[in-house]
Amino acid sequence: MCEASGFDAFSFKGLIMADIAVVLPDGSQRTVQNGATVRDLAASIGAGLAKAAIAGKVNGELVDLAATLNDNDSVSIITEKSPEALEIIRHSTSHLMAQAVKQLFPQAKVTIGPAIETGFYYDFDVDHPFTPEDLEKIEKRMGELAKSSMQIVREELSSSAAVTMFKGMGEDYKVELIEDLGVDSVSLYRQGDFADLCRGPHLPSTSFCKAFKLTSIAGAYWRGDEKRKMLQRVYGTAFADKKELEAYLERIEEAKRRDHRKLGKELDFFSFSDEVGAGFAIWHPKGAMLRTVLEDFERKEHLKRGYDIVVGPQILKSELWQRSGHYENYRENMYFTEVDEQSYGVKPMNCLAHMMIYKSQLRSYRDLPLRYFELGTVHRHERAGVLHGLLRVRCFTQDDAHILCTPQQLDSEIKDVIAFVAEIMAKFGFDFDMELSTRPEKSIGSDNDWERATNALLGALKDSGRPYEINEGDGAFYGPKIDIKLRDCLDRKWQCATIQCDFTLPERFDLNYIDSDGEKKRPVMVHRVILGSIERFIGVLIEHFAGSFPLWLSPVQAVLLTVTDAQIPYAERLYMQLRNAGVRVQKDFRNEKLGFKIRESQLQKVPYMLIIGDKEVESNTLTPRFRDGKNLEPMSPESFIGFVSTESANFH
């Protein structure tokens, strides 16, 4: 039959084993045998690459080294130096940790263990909470397992077979995950005596897990549901080499020293009280002054750019929140109350009142754009488990604004906001990254309106010339948004500024303007914040500056220190002179040694200590000492006032 068909056994075998061509990152083609894996491709390129390879990227998708290649695949080899490597290393290290936990605590049940931005975590169901001593044991066992160089192997199983397997292992959480997936088959990864449900990819062996550290323990509800069981979450981090790990751990220690909760207490800025309620900050005099300086700065910057200051009420009728879509899509984050048998919602956002201001009179195209700015205090019900100092609270103030403009003005307004953000962030020494967050599953508005809004933001991003990323499905329920994440001195990212484009709420609230043709048209609304939550931004600032604020921002710019009681009358007059000139000054006239008072002022991170001794009284001067210990020459009070004014003005 082969002869009749024109084939013999040899040629048929040759057909089966025909070579295939794959495309490398530089565009060149490389021929490999049919059935070759990513590992085979790396070996064909060079022994060094084969040794360094940890994974591959095939047609844009990360895969294991054992993945089989097909003709015309676009392939790149992932090594520890590749940008994609860190997530793979961390994910594999989370599995290594779970294996160590199972060996040390056989009754522990494993749940999920993803890689995250700072490392990885794994959640465990255990009878007793882990202790710091347990972490040391787990980390030691991880090191032993890593050195054993176990192969990490991917397996494909039918879902029913996987359920049977995990049930036999007593791993109920894995069974639940598989059943909820609703798929016919799943992938597992095995290493020695440990198997885990996972999509992958993973490192080829545990020997590549060579620089890791377990960092902390926390509680976490299964699937984030407060009604489900509390699990033990073990956090860790991992890097390709020990130098990177050590550098990261040094940054972590520095972050601990800069923790705004610690410094906020030491500097007497704010406090939280169980008697008041979780998530509600109480601002002390110095913290309130810091807020005031920041908010006054914000008002001036907005007025310079043509914004009108407005103020809306704290509660609005529930019917308005129903019309806006908040009641349906955001109700779990809101607080409600009742007045005169009428339901009201405590505002989580400021947009509704701003739209009512717009609707209060007939608008012409000549009036637009209108830019309403409000330092609006809002309340949102955050889960207790996510509250974190000033960074996540239930009551906060936003530097919120809503721009109502024509569709033709939209592009320039978005670009102006991006420029506004860039200018303000530069004043604080922040650089930032941007990402476009697109339509979420839970949303309102037509497909057409979402497309128009998304395209408007995308166009402005492209024209800005700055890099950006796409964050699929993370937009607001009423429109897409640009999220701006600033980077602090430790290169940590913080979400602050946001620009949202909204065609939907103007439609729901029937906002109109009379266009040049005499016809009614619908305006577009841009929701935006520059700093975002004032509370959150202050928390970030405290950590960025380690509490040592620049002179213009410091709640206390100077403190008067007397050497003896004899200088108090002169120092009192100086105190009033400086205060009347706008210098934020405090006095320390205690009968203590000057060195003691200087050290206390330095600990409070006051920019200038003004030393007043007999010489200063006689010459009607003061001697400034900077917080780093540098002494300036004696100067007149008027000169110091001018110095403070000039230094503050030059900064901002």
Nearest to 232 by CA among 355, 122, 327, 349: 122
Burial code (b: 16+ CB inside 10 Å, e: under 16) for 526-544 equals: bbbbbbbbbbbbbbbbbbb
User: How many angstroms separate the CA atoms of 562 and 608, rounded?
Assistant: 14
User: How many angstroms separate the CA atoms of 276 and 452, rounded?
Assistant: 45
User: How many angstroms separate the CA atoms of 476 and 430, rounded?
Assistant: 25
**The pair of three-digit structure tokens given for residue 396, joined into one six-digit string:** 């906060």
The residue written with tokens 């007149």 in the block is 636
Helix (H) or strand (E) holding 579: helix 568-580
User: How many angstroms separate the CA atoms of 482 and 320, rounded?
Assistant: 26
User: How many angstroms separate the CA atoms of 198 and 194, rounded?
Assistant: 12
Cα angle 274, 278, 280 (rounded to 5 degrees) comes to 105
Q: With beta carbons less than 8 A apart as the criterion, state whether 44 and 30 touch.
A: yes
CA distances from 257 to 127, 408, 486 (A): 34, 49, 20
Nearest to 90 by CA among 114, 112, 66: 114
The residue written with tokens 């009379």 in the block is 514
**The pair of three-digit structure tokens given for residue 282, joined into one six-digit string:** 């109480």
Chain centre distance of CA 350: 23
User: How many angstroms separate the CA atoms of 417 and 301, rounded?
Assistant: 12
The residue written with tokens 């897409």 in the block is 480
612: exposed, middle or buried (Cβ count in 10 Å: 0-12, 13-18, 19+): buried
> Is residue 89 classed as helix, strand or coil in its secondary structure?
helix
> Is residue 186 classed as helix, strand or coil in its secondary structure?
strand
**Residues with a known catalytic role:** 351, 380, 398, 400, 402, 481, 527
The amino acid at 214: L
Chain centre distance of CA 454: 22
The number of residues making up the chain comes to 652
Alpha helical stretches, state H, 372-479: 410-427, 447-464
276: exposed, middle or buried (Cβ count in 10 Å: 0-12, 13-18, 19+): exposed
> Is residue 38 classed as helix, strand or coil in its secondary structure?
helix
User: How many angstroms separate the CA atoms of 128 and 649, rounded?
Assistant: 57
Q: What is the dihedral of CA 546, 549, 553, 555, to 10 degrees?
A: 90
Q: Please enumerate, as own/partner, the contacts of 635-638 that have beta carbons within 8 Å and a separation of 24 or more.
A: 637/574, 637/577, 637/578
Helix (H) or strand (E) holding 44: helix 38-45
Helix (H) or strand (E) holding 214: strand 212-221
Q: With beta carbons less than 8 A apart as the criterion, state whether 38 and 64 touch.
A: yes
Helix (H) or strand (E) holding 528: strand 524-533
**397: Cα within 13 Å, side-chain hemisphere:** 18
